[in-house]
Amino acid sequence: MIRNIFTSEYSSFSEMAAQQDRDAATQRVIEELKRIYKSKILPLETLYRYDIFYSPYMTDAEFDSKPQVMLLGQYSVGKTSFIRYLIGRDFPGQRIGPEPTTDRFTAVMDGPEERVIPGNALCVSPELPYRGLERFGVSFLNRFEGSVVPSSVLKYITLVDTPGVLSGEKQRLNRGYDFCQVCSWFAGRADLILLVRRITEIGIPVCDFKTD
């Protein structure tokens, strides 16, 4: 609860923090938030073993990272196409087709040259905010990657493309990892979630995200 309140307060500063060249005032705000977390909240998390029972401790990378926008929806509704349209170009690892094609979570981020970063490398990088995903295991990390592409849009945000939501039991049996828990992890850290759907459908059935 304390961390949720804290991170929601931090989120209001995220857009300022995304500026390529941060001004001194913005940087001071970020540094002060780090200090408050480490001096007031981290001791409580350590005392009650928050890292074991829920999530690893927050790192500096989570404070310094750009705002994240998560795209969620059923398969073949245009999530990947929307990202492609938004950044104005193809990106490494994109998969577009009429059937379920995006079978992995992809963090689309800015960089000097196009490349794909494996999920396990993203999780251990001290400069990226994905360390907490290690707890979902190798099966998930094999379905997680970073797509680096030069883009003026991505200088300010990171876009998270997700696999299409499947129906009923397929959601649980066909993944090899806990899809709903992974979505919850990303959603808890996203500054904006875009729910993409077909124009003929109201939305994602609640049962598609139901867990026992």
* pLDDT value for 152: 92
* pLDDT value for 76: 80
* pLDDT value for 18: 45
* pLDDT value for 101: 55
51 pLDDT tier (thresholds 50, 70, 90): confident
SS3 annotation, 115-181 = EEEEHHHHHHCCCCCCHHHHHHHHHHHCCEEEEECCCCHHHCCEEEECCCECCCCHHHHCCCCCHHH
Mean pLDDT of the chain: 81
Reported as a single tens digit per residue, the pLDDT across 87-111 is 999 998 887 665 555 578 999 999 9
Closest CA to 83 of 106, 60, 103: 106
Say if CB 98 and CB 137 are below 8 A apart.
no
Highest mean pLDDT among 75-79, 146-150, 208-212: 146-150
pTM for the full predicted model? 0.77
* pLDDT value for 53: 82
Please compute the mean of the pLDDT values over residues 192-209 and round it to a whole number.
Answer: 70
Residue 55, pLDDT > 90, answer: no
Residue 3, pLDDT > 70, answer: no
d(CA 76, CA 127): 32
